[in-house]
Amino acid sequence: MMDTIEMTINKLAEELKPAVVDFCQRLIRIPALSGDEKGVADLYLAEMEKLGYDRYFRDRWGNVIGIIEGTVPGPAIMYNAHLDHVDTGDYSEWGGYDPYGAVIDVNEMENQDRDGYEFVEVIHGRAAADVKAGGACQIYSGKIILELRKMGYLIKGRYIFTGVVLEEPAEQLGMIKLLDDTFPEEGLTYDGVVSCEATSLKLYLGHRGRVELKVTLSGVTSHGSAPWLGINAVNKATKFIDKVEEVVAANRGTDEQLGNSSIALTIINCTPGAMCIVPDRCQITYDRRFVPGETFTGCVAEIQNIIDELAGADPDFKATVEIATVPRTTYTGLTVAVPNVKEAWKISPEHPFTKAAAAGLSAIGQPVKYGYWDFGTDLSVICGREKKPAVGYSPMQEFYCHRPIDKVRIDYMIKALAGNVAIYRELTELDKKDFVLSESKL
């Protein structure tokens, strides 16, 4: 009995286990804080060269792109990772593991549905779960496609790997510049995206939006011995903070899959911030999450309405609200400021793109389960702004992201190798009309 292509994909994934594990370890051993991703970018490019990608290059923003051409025309599917990771934090919290050690051992891990634990072989280290294991798998899924092409199998369309810079700061700078500058300059297009943000081998179909709001309250300085001669900006802030919590809780939106909108005060400080001086400025930063149907402009307006109400009742209350915009510099030396906004989005399990991805997993014997991220991803640009379909699929588990227990299951990595390829094969069978992300298909 001859092997089917699905059997061949699973066999190739097993054969590539040592190579993809080694590549993941090498990625983890290279620090890649946001704005300092060059070492990891170099490694991705060298690996694509070694594996025989048809084209691979770095753009002027520091993003890396790899391309594998099909044997016949078809849709272009972008498989996306990001190059950066968050800080390791206090090494003493890592339980004796070096965050850049990429040690392999048998460890207790959550199962796919988070209702039990299993002892399995894992790789430890910063970004194992966000997203170096996923990026390693996407690169080696490309290797499987190259092998299938070499064996004479029909490969439709174009497989595009992209690793973008500066994802963690949340402004989506790398993804925005990839799509706005690099793709047009290189004559590249894409029809849909598969993200390797953590999904536990499920298909993830959306997340809430996010806007970072900066509020500045103004007062008047005075000597600390005579506070009645000034206007204490921090005292004014206390009423404002309570009012924000009250209003957002009363008006919060909700979504059946994504949950409730929310607001979190994440940073507060004052100036001059010195002994014996009543502060004349208080700066507050809010992390505002919102669901489909709400907008970031509506979130700004909500805060402005609170400011207007408090100012109407108190002539000494003065405040402004704006979307935080912080200049970021890429490792290639380019600096740009992008407003810190992520659109809310979700895609229906019944959308043709989702159904094709699910069919791919079923074809190779993987169960089809769905989920939604608590955090935000660069897919806000794809689905929220560009209105193109996307799903998340990867071996990593959201529970381990950004924590000193950062690790990834190796058994899930091998499944993801095959799953990425199976999803790609089904997505490239779709017609152009199936890549439309209209409101009726959300």
| Residue-wise pLDDT tens digits, 44-64 | 999 999 999 999 999 999 999
Give the pLDDT confidence score for residue 440 in this predicted structure. 40
Cis amide bond preceding 131, omega within 30: yes
Q: What is the pLDDT of residue 437?
A: 86
Tokens of 164: 């973008």
Which amino acid belongs to residue 249?
Answer: A
Locate 57 and state its tokens.
Answer: 């290059």
Of 431, 420, 437, the closest CA to residue 75 belongs to 431
| Separation between Cα atoms, residue 65 and residue 178, nearest integer Å | 9
Q: Which two tokens stand for residue 398?
A: 């959201």
Rounded alpha-carbon distances, angstroms, from residue 216 to 80, 266, 317: 37, 14, 11
- What's the Cα-to-Cα distance from 29 to each of 43, 99, 162, 197, 279, rounded to whole Å? 11, 8, 20, 19, 45
- pLDDT of the residue at 133: 98
- Give me the residues of the chain with pLDDT under 70, please: 1-2, 439-442
CATH number assigned to the domain with residue range 209-327, chosen from the 4 options 3.30.70.360, 3.40.190.10, 3.40.50.1100, 1.10.3720.10: 3.30.70.360
Largest Cα separation within the chain, whole Å, is 92
The SS3 assignment for 185 reads: helix
Read off the pLDDT of residues 233-274 as tens digits, 9 standing for 90 and up.
Answer: 999 999 999 999 999 999 999 999 999 999 999 999 999 999
Q: What are the structure tokens assigned to 122, written together?
A: 């894992």
The encoded tokens of residue 34 equal 């946001």
Helix 17-28, helix 38-51: angle, nearest 10: 160
Angstrom CA distances, 234 to 221, 303, 324, stand at: 11, 17, 20
Domain ranges (residues) in the chain: 5-207+344-441, 209-327
Tokens 């990625």 locate to 27
Instruction: Give the pLDDT score at 442.
Output: 46
CATH topology of domain 5-207+344-441: Aminopeptidase (3.40.630)
Q: What is the pTM of this model?
A: 0.95
**Residue labelled with tokens 């694509």:** 48
CA 319/CA 219 separation, integer angstroms: 9
pLDDT (0 to 100) of residue 1: 59
pLDDT at 3: 86
Q: How far apart are CA 337 and CA 312, in angstroms?
A: 34
Instruction: Supply 109's token pair.
Output: 């891990």
